[in-house]
Structure 1
Amino acid sequence: MLFRDLGEERIVTVTAIDNDDFGDRTVTVTHTASGGKGAISVEVRIKDDDAQPVSLSAAPNPVAEGNSVTVTASLSAPLSSSVTIPLVLTAGTAEAGDYGALASITIAAGQTTATGTISTTEDADYDDETFTVALGTLPASVTAGSPSSVEVRIEDDDEPPPPVVEDDDEPPPVIEDDEEPPPPVSLSVEPTSVAEGNSVTVTASLSAPLSSSVTIPLVLTAGTAEAGDYGTLASITIAAEQTTATGTISTTEDADHDDETFTAALGTLPAPLAAGSPSAVEVRIEDNDTPGIALSTSSLHIRGCGLVAYTIRLLSQPKANVIVTVESDARGVATASPARVVFTAENWNRDRRVTVTPGAGGRASITHWVSSSDPSYDTVRLTRTLRVTVDEAVPASVVAPWQVRFVRSHTAHVLDGIAGRIVAEPKAGAWASQPTGSSRPGGDEDSPASLPVAGTLHRTYGTGTFGADGWRGAAVPGSRSIAVREALAGSSFALTGEKAPDGSVWSVWGRGSWSRFRGRENMLALDGEAWTATVDVDRRRGRSQMGLALSHSLGEGEYGGGTCSGGIESSLTSVVPHAALQVSDRLTLWGALGYGWGAVTFKPDTGFALKADTTFTMAATGMRGGLLAPAENGPALALVSDAMWMRTRSERVPGLAASDSSVTRLRFGLEGSWRVALEGGGHVIPKLEVGARHDGGDAETGAGVELGGGLAWSDPALNLSLDVKGRTLLAHEDGAFENRGVAAGLVFDPSPATERGPSLTLRSSWGGRAEGGLDALFAPAPLKDRIDDEAEARWTTEAAYGLPAFGGRFTGSPHAGFGFSDSAHDYTLGWRLAPADGVNAPDLSFGLKATRRENDRAATEHTVEFKVRTRW
C-alpha cells in the first residue's frame, strides 16, 4: 500500500497469514501521521484460498419404500460462486431398480447448503434394503468433509401371506423355498488412519464360503485426497471355500501439510453376491509434513576442551528453499558453525551438522531462525533455541598447565643467575656482554632435562660447540635480525665496587634469559617461550652473601589438541631475596625465597580473550662443594644438590575458573675424578659422575638416574690432548625415556697457554649430550633432537692460527671449519679476538663467524654470527 506523508511516499507491506480458517476476511489498516494529528484508513480484503469441506446427510433415514429421501450437501462457509457437488450412488443390499438417481447437487453462491431427492420403489420383496450416497470427484474449490458418504436404508412395508390350511385335521403344509438368499459381502480396512507413505490393507468378507472363486470389484473415490495421494486396487478375489481375501492400497509421501481422505467402496457385484454392511470404508491419510525444524538435542553441557556437534533437519518437505540462520547470543562463551544452513526439497530430511566451539565458561543460547518463500516455513513460530553451558574449568584446563610451565621457566632463569653469582669471584669494575647479528637468543629447552644445577656461571649469547648442525645453542636455520627482547636474552652486565673497610663488597648485576618450553596435558599439546630480565643487588662479606633480585618475564605460546587451539600470553614480576654461606672451604649452602605477581591472557582461536591476574611464590635451597680436592694429583670428589618448590595461582574471572598449580624438583649430582701425572708434564684424568632427579607437581613428573664418565689425556711433548666423554640414562619411572651419548675430541695445539700459532681440532659425537650430569638429565628428545629427528654420527674439524694483534696486547685467530653428518654439511669461516695473557689489555672479546649449511632435507642455509664481551 502507498501512503503519502507531506508529499513523501511511504510504502507499507501487509502480509496475510495462511491459516486453516475458511471464508474471506477484512482488515483495516490505519496510517497516522507523526504526532497523531492526521490519519487515513484502508480496508483490505483477504481472499481465502483454502478449499471448503463439503459433507453429506440424508433424511429421512431409514425411509419407507415408495417414499423419497432428501440428500443435503453442506459447506462450512459460503462461496462467492456456485459449486456443483457430484454424487455416486452404490447399491448395497438394494438392487438397481429399488431407488432412483441423483447425479449432483448445486450449492448457490453465498449459500452453505443445497438438497437433492432420491426416490425409492414399492416392490414385492419382504426385506429391508440399503444403498450408499457418496461424494464423487470434487471440484478444486471444495474438499471432502465428514461424512463424505451416507448409507440409506429402505424399510419394507409388505406383509408376508399367511399359510393355506385345507384340512383342519391335517398339519399345515410346509412351504419350501429352494432359492438361498445371496451371500452378502462387506469391506473393512486396517488401519483406518495411516501415515502417509505407508499402506492400508482392505479386506473383503463373505458371510459364507462359495464353491467357486469370486472377484469383488472396488471403486476408490477421492475425498480430501487427490488422485496421486494413493494407489489403485481394482478388485479382490476370494478363493473357493474361503470367506475373506485382502488387497493393499499404498499412500504417497507428499509436501502437503493436511490430513487427507479417500473411500474404498464395493463396485457392481456379480451374481449371486449382494452388498453387505459396510459396503464402503473411508481411509484417512495422516500427514507427517508439519512445518518445523528438529534439533537432535535441546541443550549441550561442554565440560572439556574441544568441539561439540548437534544436527538440524526439517520436519516436512518444503515447497521452496528454507534457510536456517544459526546465531549465538554469547559468542565469547560458544560459537556455532556454519552460521547458515540451507535446506531444499531434495535434502530436507537429511541431518545437517552444526559444530559448537567453546570459549569462556558461561551460558549461551543458540537461536535458529527460519526463513523461506514457502509461507509454511516463513514464520517466527518455527524458531528453535539450543541452550549451551560451558564449564569455567574448560579454559582453566588450558591456562593452568601452560602457566605452571611458564612460571617454572621464570624460576629457572632467576635461580640460574643467582647460582652463577654465588660461585663467581667478582673483581672491582664493570663488564658487559651484548650479542648482535643473525642468531637465536641464548637459552635452553625448558624441560626437566634442561633446568641447570645451581652453579652454572652464565651462558653467553651466541656461543656453543660447533657440530654438523652448526653452533649448538647459537645458530638458527635461515637468516634473520634478532628482536629487542631476544637480544636482551643474551645480555649480561656486572658492576662491582671496591672492598669497603669492613670487608664488604657491593655488586649490581643483570642478565637476560630465554628458554622454550613444551609439554603435554592429556591430549593437549603446549608450546611457549619465556624471556626474563633480572637485575640484582648483592653484598658479600667474608663467607656470607646476601642479595635481592628483581625479575620480569614475558611469555607467549600456543596450545592445541584435536580441534581445540589458541594462544596464551603471560607476564610475571618477582622479587627474590637470597643468601649464601660458605660453611667451609669445600662447602657452600644457599637459599632463596620469592614472591611475584602478573597476568595471563587466554586467547582461543574462536571466542574472546580472557585475562586473569596471577601470583607466584617460590622457595629453593641447595648446597655445593668439593668433598675431596687434592692440590695436584690424586682423587677429587664434588657434590651439588638443590631442591625447589614453586606455586602459581590465577584468579577467577567471568568465563575462567581459578587455578592453583605447583611444581617440585629435587636434584643430586656427584662427580669424581683421579688425576695421574705422566712423565714429560702430561696427565691423564679418568672421570665418573652420577646424577639423580625427581620432578613432581602439575607439570612433567618422574624420577631417574643417569651415569656419565670420561677420560682426559694431555701430552705437551706431542702438543696433543684427548677428551672422551659418555653418558647414559640408567633408569627412569617412565620406560619411554631413553638417553645416551658419546663424544670425543682431539686437539693439536703447540701453544695452548697463549692460543697463538697453529691449532687443529677434531671432534666426533653420537647420540645426545655426552656430558652434563644433572644439567642434561631427562632431555626432551634425547636420541632424536639433533639432526632432523635422527641420532646421527657427527664429525667436525676446525683449523685456526693465533696471531698477535694491536701491539701484541690481543690475539687474533682466523679459523675455518668443516662439519658433516649423514644428512648435512657445514662450512665455516670466522675470526676471533681475545686479550693476550700477561699483558695490560682491556677485557674485550670479539667474534665473527659465517656458516653455510647444505642439508639433504632442506634448502641451503647461510648464517652470520657476531658476538662481543667486555669488562671495564
Structure 2
Amino acid sequence: EWNAERWQAGAALSHSWGNGGYEAENGMEGEISTTMTGLYPYGRYALSPRLGIWASAGYGWGTLSLTSEGTTYNPSANMTMAAAGMDGLLLDGGAEGLSLSTIADVLTVKTTTDAVDGLAASEGNVSRFRLGLEATRPVPLSNGASLLPSLSVGVRQDSGDAETGFGTELGAGVSWMAPQRGISADLKGRILLTHGSEDFRDRGMAVSLAWDPNPSDRGPSFSVSHALGAAAAGGLDALLNPITIEGLGADDGSRERQQFATRLAYGFPTFGDRLTVTPSLGLALSPYSSTASLLWALTPYTGTGQVDEPWTISLEGQRQKDTTGSAPVNHSLELRWWLKRAKPARGPGADATLPQAA
C-alpha cells in the first residue's frame, strides 16, 4: 500500500475455497466445491481530512468441481468486480455540536464458468447499492460525564441472481460515558422499516456496560453485553449489512438470535515494566450454544491515558458447546499477532475492496 498527503493506493490479493452440496428442482443432487484467487487494486482520494472517495476493480480466476450421479465436472471459473464509494464525516460538530457521517457505495460482480462435456457454461451477476447517514450530538453532563445520542438511516438495493430487493433501515442509540469513574454504557437498536419482500423482517437491540477504572492496559476491566436479533452495534457498517434473506418464510422471530457475553481481565506489568500481560476470562451464552474462553495477551505498556497498543500477541483457548443437540463439544486454541500503524484517512482496505458482501 502507498500513501501520500491525499492519495492512497494499493492492492489486495486473496485466495478462497469452499465446498457444499446442492439439490436441483428435477431431483438431481450432488457435491460442489470451488477455489478462486483474486487480485483487487484500489485507490482513495481524501476530499478532506475525514471524508474521501475510493474505487476498486478486480479479477479472479479458479476452478469449479461439480459432482452429479457419479460424474465429476471441472470447468474453469472467473470473476470480475468493480466498486466505488464515499465515506467519512460530512459535518464535524466537535465536542458539543452536530456531526454527520455518511457511507455511499456501489458494487457489481460477475462470475462465469466455461462449458465442458456434459455441462453448459453459466453466468451470474449481482449488484448492490448502499447509502447511509448517521447524526450524533454530544451532550455534556456534570463531573466530566457525557451522553452521545445517535440516529442513522440506511437504504440498500440488491439486484441480480442472488438475494434481491430494496430495503430501508433505521437505527438509534445512546451512549453514556463517565471517564472519572471508568464506566461506559451503550443502548442501540435497529429495525428494517421496508423491504421488497413483505415476508422479510430484520430488527435488533444491544445493551452493553463496561468498567475500566484505569485508562490504560493495566489493572482490572470488566464488560457485559446482551444482544437480541440482528447486529445493532457497529454504526452504519452494521446497519447496511443485514442478514441474508435466509429468513424468508421463517417463523416470525420465534427463533430470534440472542447472545449474552461477559469478559473480566486484569493487566499486570512484566519485563521491567516495559510490557503488560493481560489474562482474561470470557463467557458467551445463547439459546443454542455456550462458549467459555481463556485469553493471555502481551502488549507494550503505553502509559496512562493511552489505549492503542502498537502491537499485540495473544493466545486464546475456547470451549464451545451446542446446547440444542448431541453435537460434540468443540475445543480450539488460537494464536494471534497484529501490528498497528497510523493511516492518513479511512480507506477502503481489503474488507471494502473484496466483494464478499455480494
Could you say whether these structures have the same fold, taking a TM-score greater than 0.5 normalized by the shorter chain as the test?
A: yes
Matched, 1:570 2:34: yes
Structure 1 residues 51-450: aligned runs within 5 Å: none
Structure 2 CA distance, aligned partners of 1:613 and 1:783?
A: 33
C-alpha separation in 1, matches of 2:59 and 2:257: 44
Shift of 1:774: 4.6
Match of 1:583 among 32, 47, 56: 47
Distance 2:317 2:142 in 1: 39
What CA distance in whole angstroms lies between the structure 2 residues aligned with 1:850 and 1:548?
Answer: 34
Check whether the contact 2:39–2:58 (CA below 8 A) recurs between aligned residues.
Answer: yes
Q: Helix, strand or coil: the match of 1:680?
A: helix
Unaligned runs of 5+ in 1: 1-537
Is 1:545 the counterpart of 2:8? The answer is yes
Output one character per residue of 1:686-722: Cα deviation in whole Å (capped at 9) or x when no partner. 0111221111112221111111111110113333211
Q: Is residue 2:167 matched to residue 1:704?
A: yes
RMSD: 3.0
Matched, 1:626 2:94: no
Query: Which 5+ residue runs of structure 2 have no aligned equivalent?
Result: 341-358
CA contact (8 A) 2:186 2:209 kept: yes
What does residue 771 of structure 1 align with? 233
2:64 alignment counterpart: 600
The answer to whether structure 1 residue 686 and structure 2 residue 149 are counterparts is: yes
Is residue 2:317 matched to residue 1:849?
yes
> In the TM superposition, what whole-angstrom CA distance separates every residue of 1:336-372 from its partner, at most 9, and x where no partner exists?
xxxxxxxxxxxxxxxxxxxxxxxxxxxxxxxxxxxxx
Looking at structure 2, the residues matched to 699 and 592 of structure 1 have their Cα atoms a distance apart, in angstroms, of 22
Contact 2:199 2:248 (C-alpha < 8 Å) held by counterparts: no
Asked if 1:755 is matched to 2:220, the reply is: no
Instruction: Rate the CA distance shift 1:725–1:760 in 2: closer, same or farther, 3 A.
Output: same
CA distance in 2, matches of 1:865, 1:754: 27
* Letter paired with 2:335: K
Contact 1:829–1:851 (Cα < 8 Å) also in 2:
no
Aligned residues: 330
Q: Does 1:738 align with 2:201?
A: yes
Residues 767 and 783 in structure 1, CA contact (< 8 A), matched pair in contact too = no
1:665 and 1:658 map into 2 onto residues whose CA distance is: 24
Q: Indicate if the aligned counterparts of 1:693 and 1:774 stay in contact, CA closer than 8 A.
A: no
Deviation at 1:607, TM superposition (A): 3.8
Please give the alpha-carbon distance, in whole angstroms, between the structure 1 residues aligned to 2:72 and 2:54. 41
Instruction: Using structure 2 for the length normalisation, give the TM-score.
Output: 0.81
Question: Quick one: structure 1 residues 660 and 686, their matched pair in 2 at CA, closer, same or farther if it must change by over 3 Å?
Answer: same
Question: Which one has the largest radius of gyration?
Answer: 1
Task: Letter of the 1:863 partner, please give it.
Answer: H
The two structures have a TM-score, normalised by structure 1, of 0.35
Query: 1: distance between equivalents of 2:160 and 2:84?
Result: 18
Alignment of 1:491-570 (within 5 A): 538-561=1-24, 563-570=27-34
Picking from 772, 796, 801, the partner of 2:266 is: 801
Q: Is the 8 A contact 1:550 1:576 kept in 2?
A: yes
- Matches of 1:649 and 1:870, distance apart in 2: 36
> What's the secondary structure of 2:143's corresponding residue?
helix
Would you say the 8 A contact 2:231–2:238 is kept in 1?
A: no
CA distance in 2, matches of 1:855, 1:551: 35
Closer/same/farther in 2, CA of residues 599 and 579 from structure 1, 3 Å limit: same
CA distance in 1 between counterparts of 2:316 and 2:111 reads 42
TM-superposed CA distance for 1:857, in Å, is: 3.7
Within a 5 Å distance, the mapping from 1:822-861 to structure 2 comes to: 825-838=290-303, 843-851=311-319, 853=321, 855=323, 857-858=325-326, 861=329
Which SS does the other structure have where 1:769 is aligned? coil
- Tell me the equivalent position of 1:643: 106
Q: Which has the higher contact order (CA 8 A, sep 6+)?
A: 2
Alpha carbons 1:783, 1:790 under 8 Å: kept: no
Letter in 2 for 1:768: A
Whether the 8 Å CA contact 1:852–1:860 is kept in 2: the answer is: no
Q: Are the counterparts in 1 of residues 217 and 302 from structure 2 also a CA contact under 8 Å?
A: no
Query: In structure 1, what is the equivalent of residue 182 of structure 2?
Result: 719
Paired residues of 2:192 and 2:201 also in contact (CA < 8 A): yes
State the 1:681 CA deviation.
Answer: 1.7
Q: Deviations over 1:354-396 (max 9, x none)?
A: xxxxxxxxxxxxxxxxxxxxxxxxxxxxxxxxxxxxxxxxxxx
Q: Percent identity?
A: 35
1:825 Cα deviation after fit: 4.8
**In 2 relative to 1, CA 573–718 (structure 1 residues): closer, same or farther, beyond 3 Å?**
closer
Alignment deviations for residues 10-30 of structure 1 (CA, whole Å, 9 cap, x no partner) = xxxxxxxxxxxxxxxxxxxxx
Q: CA deviation at 1:671?
A: 1.4
Deviations 1:111-151 (A, max 9, x none): xxxxxxxxxxxxxxxxxxxxxxxxxxxxxxxxxxxxxxxxx
Contact 1:708-1:771 within 8 A present in 2 as well: no
Quote the offset at 1:729 in angstroms. Answer: 0.9
Kept after mapping to 2: 8 A contact 1:768/1:782: no
The structure richer in strand per residue is 2
Measured after TM superposition, the shift of residue 560 of structure 1 is 1.5
What is the alpha-carbon distance in structure 1 between the residues aligned to residue 56 and residue 322 of structure 2?
Answer: 47
Q: Extract structure 1 runs of 4+ deviating beyond 6 A.
A: 782-785
Q: Deviations over 1:374-426 (max 9, x none)?
A: xxxxxxxxxxxxxxxxxxxxxxxxxxxxxxxxxxxxxxxxxxxxxxxxxxxxx
